[in-house]
Structure 1
């Protein structure tokens, strides 16, 4: 498997397989939302679009980066999200990095969104479905966020089936600028548990697949069986192309 690691601004062509990484905190939040029963996550291009979707669908849950704001139900914090009832609901997510990176590769045949909490499931899906070049989109800090790069590099190694000690990758993420800012309270809309929750390796047993469901980019969980399991890869939810994107 040929891999490359690019920032959002470095994307000059549509990749065949894109893995969008946002550890702190968009795709840790997304994974937790699915674990708490959310059916799907709509990735909004702007705050205005998120609010417009919420206005058209009052039962949807809208969340954003930063402090609470009128019209939004939650903020982009895995710790704070634990208190939100998401059973069977649609979430609208707008963040400064993760959702932007995903929309930048929306034309790719296969788009995965990931973080440490779904790392192994993502690697397993890549092993079974991805061929040729895989582009990891490192969303934070113009492609320099060490927590995102560490996660991307770890998943890339696991996708080859190699036995890889996660300790060094998690250490890098724990020492990253994002982790420091969250720990020191620099970032608003955070919970004291956020960093620890973002570093829970393989906390959830699914990958997350994003696909264009006209006119929206929608993220859904994808159950990936263990290597010894003969069950087919299965995407939960009622719509979308399924986890089994064509081998590329």
Structure 2
């Protein structure tokens, strides 16, 4: 499937994985709507072909409103879910048990919001005309290696990303009759704005934990995987680790 002459929606598009994915899709000819919170989209200047829209992906109405801005001449065929948060808290610490509200909000943002965009995008993609193989579009979600090797303090994050990984094959089976493929990328340690707050010593230690290449991943490498998934019509129902062979230890 070619991104050109299609529309795409990318969540978390103002920075990090989402910004890199939106830019890559636009560079390959797609018309991209990037969703992010209002205080995030005022800062970056989007590349040509990308329009940043203020939208809370927890809201059905706001996501639908963003999708309604798409032109019928370039039907929606691609959705990439990158929005997410990564809080840290132990299940039980000296301050007491894990905050239940924090757990709920993490699952809401990372899993429920992913499903919200997936279902609404799928509805819109299913209305597009099929290609010669009956394919109408592709949805790419974002999990994490924490879905498989959650570290100490990652209960909420690991559970939410594990849900995204588990959803992948089920969603692919559900949407097969609509000609929609669903895949998930599980990144390792990526050099996103969230990592910028860490000291150079900590960043170096994280890089050394990667087997090879021994460095942090670049957001552009995630975007390349998005393009590869879109390009390969036989890739469906898979959660793909993009992690330099890292296997996370307890800490």
TM norm. shorter chain > 0.5: no
Structure with more of its chain in strand, by fraction: 1
Structure of greater relative contact order (alpha carbons < 8 Å, 6+ residues apart): 1
Using structure 1 for the length normalisation, give the TM-score. Answer: 0.30
Larger Rg: 2
Structure with more of its chain in helix, by fraction: 2
Using structure 2 for the length normalisation, give the TM-score. Answer: 0.29
